Chain A
C-alpha cells in the first residue's frame, strides 16, 4: 500500500513558521558547506582524540531521539513512527563499535580489530538509516498495537548480531580502506548508494507530504547528504581532514534536528497543559461549574414549554368545567399544548445532538473545514436577513490540524456566527456583514475570530459575557457563549471578545495545534462526518 490513502486527499499540513525555520536552516547549512569547500582536503593532526567526544555526542542525541520517538509511538501507535525510532536506535548502536575500532583512538586498549572493520560499521550505519526512513515513508498509516519495548529489544539484538558478525568475519570483509586514513576505490560505492537512498527518501517524503515530522526528516536527510559530500568527495575521502570533520559536524546537527523539534513540541505541550489545568481550576472556582450551568439552562429550556403545557391544560380544564363550557377556548389551549410538545421535543433533540453524538471522540481536525461548514449552514438563515457571511484567512489544508471534537467545535462556530448575524441583522443593509477569519499563530495555535458590525458589547455585560444566563437577545437562553467557553477550554484553548472598529464586536477563540501530526486521514473523515 503505497502511501496509504489517496494522495490528493492528504494536504500539506506543515505550518508556515515551521517552513520558514526549515528553509532558513537549509540555507545556513548550504552556506556553511560552501564556506568549508576550499579547505576540505587539508588534513588535520592529532584530532583522533576528538573522535570519542564526537561519537559520544552523536550517540546521546540519537539514543534520546529514539527514546522520544518510541514514547511518541506509545502514545499515538502509528506504524511509521516505529520505523523512524528503530532507525535512530540502530544508528546509535552502530556508533559505539565504530568509535571503539577507529584507528589510533583507543590504542591503549590494544584492540586492533583490523583495517576494514571501522569502515564496515560506517557502511552499515550509513545505509541503514535511509532504509529505515524509507520504511517510515512507505509504511501504511495504520494504528498498531505492537509493543514498543519488544521492537527496541529486537533492534538491539539485531545490531549486536551484526556487530558480532562483522568482527567475526573481519578478515573476509571487502577492502574498503587503503590504510588508517585513505579509502579504497571500492568505498566510493557506499556514499553513492547512500546519496541515492537519501534522494529517494526525500522525494517520497515530499511527494506524500504526510506530516510535519516527515518534513523535518527531509531536512535531516538533506544535512546528511551534505555531510556525505564533505566527507567522501570534497574531503577526498581521507579521514580526519577538515572536510571530514566539517561533515561530522553536519551529521551532529542533522541528528539533533528531530530531537530539538520533539523537545520543543513537548515543551509547548507542557505549557498548554498547564494552561488547560489553570482554566479548569478557574471554571471550577466559579459557583456554577459548566455542567451545573448547562443542566440549569437545559432544565430552563425544557421547563418553558412544560410550564406552558401545564398552564394550557389547566386553562382548558377550567374552560370546559364552566357552567357554560367554552369548547373553542379549550381547543385553542389544546392546540398550544401540541405546539409546546413539539417544541420540547426540539429542545431534547438539540441537546442530544450536542452532547451525545460522540462528544468524547477526539480526532485531528482541519478547523478550516469546520469553519466552512458552519458558515455555510449559518448562511442559509443569514440570507433571510440579508446578512452576508465572509470567510477570510487560511483555507482548508493551510492550517495545522487541531485535536478535538468536530461536533462540539461545529456548535461553537455556529453559536458565534449566529450571534454575529443576530447582532447585524437589524442594522443598515450595507453593514450586514459577518466575517469569519482563520489564522495561524506563531505559538502553535490556530486562531478563529468572528467579527460583526453590530451594536457591539455593552460595558455592563462585557465582564459576564461568558457566564450562564447572560443574554442580550430576545428569547435568548444565555447559554450559548457559556457553552462555547466550556468547549474551547476543554480543548485547551481560550475564548475572548473584543471591540471591532469602527463598531461591532469580535469574538475570538484559539486552539492548540496537534503535536507532530502523524496523520490527517482521520481529520478528513471527522470534517466530512460533521459536514454531512
Chain B
C-alpha cells in the first residue's frame, strides 16, 4: 500500500466510512466484497496505529 504513506488520518477515516456504508448496502456487488472488507479492516488498523502514534508523541511532549 504505497498510498498509505501520503494518506492522512482524516482521509483514511473518510474512506473507511465510505467503505462501511458500501459493505452495509445490500445492493453492493458481492464479487469484490472480500477485497473491500480487507481494505476496510486495513484502514481501521491504519487509523488505530495513527492514534497510537499521536498518543505516544503527545505523551512525550506533555511530560
To the question of whether A and B form a pair in one complex, the answer is no
